[in-house]
Amino acid sequence: MSSLAQTTPAASLRTSAATDVAAAKRLLLAFWLTGFAALLFGVALGVLQGVNYAGINLYGALQPLIKTYYQGLTLHGVLNAFVFTFFTISGWLIYLPSRELGLRPNLRLAWASYWLMLLGTLMAAYAMLDNSSSVLYTFYPPLQASAWFYLGITVVVVASLLPLPVVLDMRARWKRAHPGEPTPLVTFMSSTTLLMWLLASLGAVAEAVFMLDPWSLGLRATIDPLLARTLFWWTGHPIVYYWLMPGYISIYALLPRQAGGKLVSDPLTRLAFLLLFVFSVPVGTHHQYTDPGIAPVIKGIVTALTLSVAIPSLITAFTVALSLEYAGRRRGGRGALGWWRALPWRDPSVAAQMLALVSFIFGGAGGIVNASWQLDNVVHNTLWIPAHFHLTVSTMTVLVFMGVSFWLLPHLTGRRLFAPRLALASVWLWFGGLMLWGFAGHWAGLAGVPRRAWISALPHAQYMQLYGSVHTSLQLVALGGLIAGLGAVAFYIVFVGTLLGRRDAQAMVAIPFSDVIAGPRGSLIVELSEHLGLWTLATLVITLAVYVPTLWPMLTHPIHAVGLRLW
Ligand code: HAS
Ligand code: CU
């Protein structure tokens, strides 16, 4: 009887759906674990970068594995900013649409992305560990790394593009089965993020394929540093939105339900994602306000465009705050601030994401300062800049994904979250440490303390002569790094403890997709947003309108520099 039942069409459909879900879960688990393994090493090195500023040089202790501050900083930047993000984001952006649409992703392509990414990571890791490539995560030429490094990064970037066809294919299949219906929200958000990343990646891919790879292989004798930097920032700016938008997916589409409420507006969410898409890619040269060789008029236009890219985040601030207020009031919160207290602050996943939002207010505000050409001249290349990005990527990506892990690991593995109170402590420590680091780093930066300086290698008397007046701020930077490091230790105990815990059928929580109050039906924004091809074209046209006049003088007046190895 039971074997007969298994062969009925409904039962076999159920079985195949369950197999699809299990296969998609395995995929995301592989991406997630590899990403967090990279972060573990990256964060451990981060503590050394922090104490360096207080004049404490711990690099000697890591001989012969890590020889210099610059080798450690290269590993720190590449592992955290590229490897952790690319792995977790690729898995996340495939898995959520597949579950939202109830469709099996093209697993071959998805696994190809995973294995290629791993291959590229191992190539770059080899080059960084043998100290042949201590060129930092921006790898500015004429500093010259080994070919393993550049080829590894090229492979990682190519691998990160493969989730795009996987998600677009699921979207197309779903749309064929549901003619006239708008793309479900999370799938829309994943698609725009990946399309944005496709256009964003063109600069780095061109830099790698036409310049860095052949140069490091000895096929070209010289390199043009200005052209390479400009192509790098073509990608290097929008990559920050490739880090941010997956965090926003959680904040918009999952957090409201986790907090006990609903997302207030589907169309506003889509609008924020469309604006992020269109404004992110053309503005990379705001990282080059101090570079010669870029016309002032272009720097002025890029200032205006950069300020525009803050608009979708301001929309986000209000939409998400209202969604959270709705949740707080539903939970019985009263008065101007009672709703805030009524939010489920004891849930480590919710707390992590709300704390990330709080710190992002400061990270975003600093970004608006950087966006201004004049003000950026005060803070460029100072500790202000790392302080800015430790309050953005380390919160809106890392802290949000730490919070996501607290429901995602039980969801993927069927194991109960290990030590929830330690999980809660870990996110407060991470948040507190980064806020302290961020505050003190902005302060030190304003006082002129440079970023990326191995200042702990200076003799103590010289260190005090140079930095004595801001030593307190630099001690706070170190303390913040240490506190965040403690948070990371607590987090990884919870992470590994959960993976090793016992299976429990009740632990397998569902994905907290939120309901929405307004939309998507009947909204003009939603209708317009469906034309993803047109939005991609519009973004490409705006990007070229900014970059053709920027790149033209560089292409017609090339610089020929020989490679340097200064470490
Ligand atoms: Fe940036 C440099 C401009 C956002 C990352 N940025 C960097 C670098 C990194 C980085 C890594 O214009 C250094 C690169 C290097 O190594 O040299 N950035 C901006 C601007 C924004 C911005 C205008 N950055 C980010 C994000 C990042 C990131 C996001 C990572 C994820 N940045 C710059 C510029 C430079 C730069 C220049 C070059 C500087 C130089 O001199 O080198 C904007 O997108 C920011 C908009 C954000 C907001 C905040 C909105 C607030 C929200 C929270 C709401 C809170 C709620 C809480 C709802 C306006 C959404 C309610 C609370 C409850 C709990 C109920
Ligand atoms: Cu930027």
Ligand 1: atom nearest CA of 328 is 65
Residue scoring higher pLDDT (297 or 8): 297
Read off the pLDDT band of 11 (50, 70, 90): low
The answer, yes or no, to whether any atom of ligand 1 lies below 6 A from the CB of 327, is no
Annotated active-site residue in 99, 171, 270, 390:
390
Q: How far is the CA of 240 from the centre of ligand 1 (A)?
A: 8
Question: Is 565 part of a structural domain of the chain?
Answer: no
Q: Is 229 a catalytic residue?
A: no
Question: Is 61 part of a structural domain of the chain?
Answer: yes
User: Which residues 6+ apart lie within 8 Å of 209 measured at CB?
Assistant: 154
The answer, yes or no, to whether any atom of ligand 1 lies below 6 A from the CB of 347, is no
Q: For 502-513, write each residue's pLDDT tens digit.
A: 898 888 889 999
Q: For 282-294, write each residue's pLDDT tens digit.
A: 999 999 999 999 9
Read off the pLDDT band of 10 (50, 70, 90): low
Question: Is 35 part of a structural domain of the chain?
Answer: yes
Q: Is the dihedral of CA 135, 140, 146, 150 positive or negative?
A: positive
Residue 17 has what pLDDT?
82
Residue 42 domain boundaries: 24-556
Question: Is 200 part of a structural domain of the chain?
Answer: yes
Annotated active-site residue in 150, 241, 252, 467:
241
Closest CA to 363 of 383, 392, 331: 392
User: How many other C-beta atoms can be found within 10 angstroms of the C-beta atom of residue 345?
Assistant: 15
Residue 298 to residue 38: CA distance in whole angstroms: 38
Q: Is 389 a catalytic residue?
A: yes
Say yes or no to pLDDT of 6 above 90. Answer: no
Residue 2 has what pLDDT?
37
How many structural domains is the chain composed of? 1
The answer, yes or no, to whether any atom of ligand 1 lies below 6 A from the CB of 237, is no
Read off the pLDDT band of 9 (50, 70, 90): low
Average of per-residue pLDDT across 556-566: 95
Residue 64 has what pLDDT?
87
Q: For 131-169, write each residue's pLDDT tens digit.
A: 999 999 999 999 999 999 999 999 999 999 999 999 999
The answer, yes or no, to whether any atom of ligand 1 lies below 6 A from the CB of 340, is yes
Question: Is 564 part of a structural domain of the chain?
Answer: no
Burial zone of 521 (CB within 10 Å; 0-12 exposed, 13-18 middle, 19+ buried): exposed
Residue 143 to residue 452: CA distance in whole angstroms: 15
Residue scoring higher pLDDT (505 or 364): 364
Residue 14 has what pLDDT?
63
Q: For 302-351, write each residue's pLDDT tens digit.
A: 999 999 989 999 999 999 999 999 999 999 999 989 999 999 999 999 99
Q: Is 286 a catalytic residue?
A: no
Structure tokens at 384: 């202000």
CA distances from residue 245 to 85, 192, 193, 436 in whole angstroms, order as listed:
12, 9, 6, 25
The dihedral formed by the CA atoms of 258, 259, 264 and 265, expressed in degrees to the nearest 10: -30
Average of per-residue pLDDT across 168-180: 96
User: Which residues 6+ apart lie within 8 Å of 10 measured at CB?
Assistant: none
Question: Is 109 part of a structural domain of the chain?
Answer: yes
Calculate the CA 445 to chain-centre distance. Answer: 23
* Location of structure tokens 């702990």: 456
Read off the pLDDT band of 268 (50, 70, 90): very high
Ligand 1: atom nearest CA of 289 is 41
Residue 268 to residue 525: CA distance in whole angstroms: 8
Say yes or no to pLDDT of 462 above 70. Answer: yes
Burial zone of 172 (CB within 10 Å; 0-12 exposed, 13-18 middle, 19+ buried): exposed
Q: For 193-231, write each residue's pLDDT tens digit.
A: 999 999 999 999 999 999 999 999 999 999 999 999 999
Q: How far is the CA of 339 from the centre of ligand 2 (A)?
A: 35
Structure tokens at 475: 């001690």
The answer, yes or no, to whether any atom of ligand 1 lies below 6 A from the CB of 389, is yes
Q: How far is the CA of 217 from the centre of ligand 1 (A)?
A: 36
Question: Is 531 part of a structural domain of the chain?
Answer: yes
Q: For 49-64, write each residue's pLDDT tens digit.
A: 999 999 999 988 888 8
Say yes or no to pLDDT of 449 above 60. Answer: yes
Residue 12 has what pLDDT?
61
Q: Is 257 a catalytic residue?
A: no
The answer to whether the beta carbons of residues 516 and 264 sit under 8 Å apart is yes
Residue scoring higher pLDDT (6 or 105): 105
User: Which residues 6+ apart lie within 8 Å of 45 measured at CB?
Assistant: 66, 72, 73, 75, 76, 79
Residue 302 to residue 308: CA distance in whole angstroms: 10
Average of per-residue pLDDT across 384-406: 97
Residue 8 has what pLDDT?
57
Question: Is 275 part of a structural domain of the chain?
Answer: yes
Q: Is 390 a catalytic residue?
A: yes
Read off the pLDDT band of 7 (50, 70, 90): very low
The answer, yes or no, to whether any atom of ligand 1 lies below 6 A from the CB of 317, is yes
Annotated active-site residue in 87, 389, 401, 431:
389
Cα–Cα–Cα angle for 141, 294, 196, nearest 5°?
A: 75
Reduced to 3 states (helix: H, G, I; strand: E, B; else coil), residue 564 is strand
Say which CATH number the domain at 392 has. Answer: 1.20.210.10
The answer, yes or no, to whether any atom of ligand 1 lies below 6 A from the CB of 371, is yes
Per-position b or e across 62-85, b if 16+ CB within 10 A of its CB: eeeebbbbbbbbbbbbbbbbbbbb
